[in-house]
């Protein structure tokens, strides 16, 4: 039996806007096991972005519980949450979020600086991960010298560099054309096949169909949670 990487119980997140209370999440129960490949979907305002922020320890719940690798993160300090974000969760964003003046290898090595890894080990590891996503020839190129797909590969390599337990991708193909999107989804398929837990936030049905489990949110709760019997295998 696989271990639960993520377990949520009664997770709620409320915001006050003027006199109104916005119930972004209104009682979410969820278990994600290690090496699952999950897509989170839902219309605007469904709570999927708020849920992603919770899973990524970028925000804290109003109520309820969140266990990450059996650790209850609700009581963690800001420093402890930052440590979790750096070591346990690899983030991939739609807008890449790369440092424009740094090379690919410098961008990928960045999380290891915060983890206290020596300079040589950082660069060796960053080069290995860039090689694994097909960018071994682009180590010293800056973001403006790379295509959109190559930038996203750099961002994926950066997410993998600290060997996190979860890869959390927010609309990772949102800025890419369909051919490049397929290439990026093939990389996520490979990452999953190598044993990683992958959580994908998307509003695109064809992208969600790569995942093995699709969770649809509506009005701050899980509306539908289904196993995808025939996930798309990108090559």
Residue 116 pLDDT > 90, yes or no?
no
Q: Which of 54, 47, 39 is nearest to 7 (CA)?
A: 54
Assigned domain for 6 exists: no
| Residue 181 domain flag | yes
* Residue 217 structural domain: 35-53+78-227
Instruction: Give strand pairing partners of 22.
Output: 15
What is the tally of structural domains in the chain?
1
CATH number of residue 223's parent domain: 3.40.50.300
pLDDT of residue 137: 95
For residue 163, being part of any structural domain is answered with: yes
**Does residue 67 lie in a domain region?**
no
Is 94 contained in some domain?
yes
Q: Residue 142 in contact with residue 154, Cβ under 8 Å?
A: no
What one-character DSSP code corresponds to residue 145? G
The structure tokens listed for 212 are 């093995």
For 105-120, give the DSSP string. HHHHHHHHHHTT--HH
Q: What is the pLDDT of residues 74-112, one digit of tens each?
A: 888 899 999 899 889 999 998 999 999 999 999 999 999
């Amino acid at each position: 039996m696989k271990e639960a990487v993520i377990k949520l119980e009664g997770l709620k997140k409320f915001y006050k806007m003027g006199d109104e209370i916005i119930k972004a999440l209104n009682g979410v129960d969820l278990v994600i096991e290690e090496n699952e490949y999950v897509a989170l979907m839902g219309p605007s305002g469904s709570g999927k972005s708020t849920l992603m922020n919770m899973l990524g320890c970028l925000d804290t719940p109003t109520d309820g519980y969140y266990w990450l690798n059996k650790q209850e993160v609700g009581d963690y300090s800001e420093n402890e949450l930052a440590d979790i974000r750096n070591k346990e969760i690899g983030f991939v964003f739609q807008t890449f979020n790369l440092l424009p003046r740094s090379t690919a290898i410098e961008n990928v090595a960045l999380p290891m600086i915060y983890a206290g890894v020596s300079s040589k080990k950082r660069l060796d590891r960053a080069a290995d991960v860039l090689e694994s996503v097909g960018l071994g020839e682009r180590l010293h190129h800056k973001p403006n010298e790379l295509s959109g797909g190559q930038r996203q590969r750099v961002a994926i390599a950066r997410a993998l560099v600290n060997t996190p337990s979860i890869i959390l991708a927010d609309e990772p193909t949102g800025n890419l054309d369909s051919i490049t999107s397929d290439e990026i989804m093939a990389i996520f398929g490979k990452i999953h096949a190598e044993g990683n837990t992958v959580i994908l936030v998307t509003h695109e049905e064809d992208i969600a169909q790569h995942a093995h489990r699709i969770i649809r949110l509506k009005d701050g709760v899980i509306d539908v949670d289904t196993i995808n019997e025939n996930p798309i295998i990108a090559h």
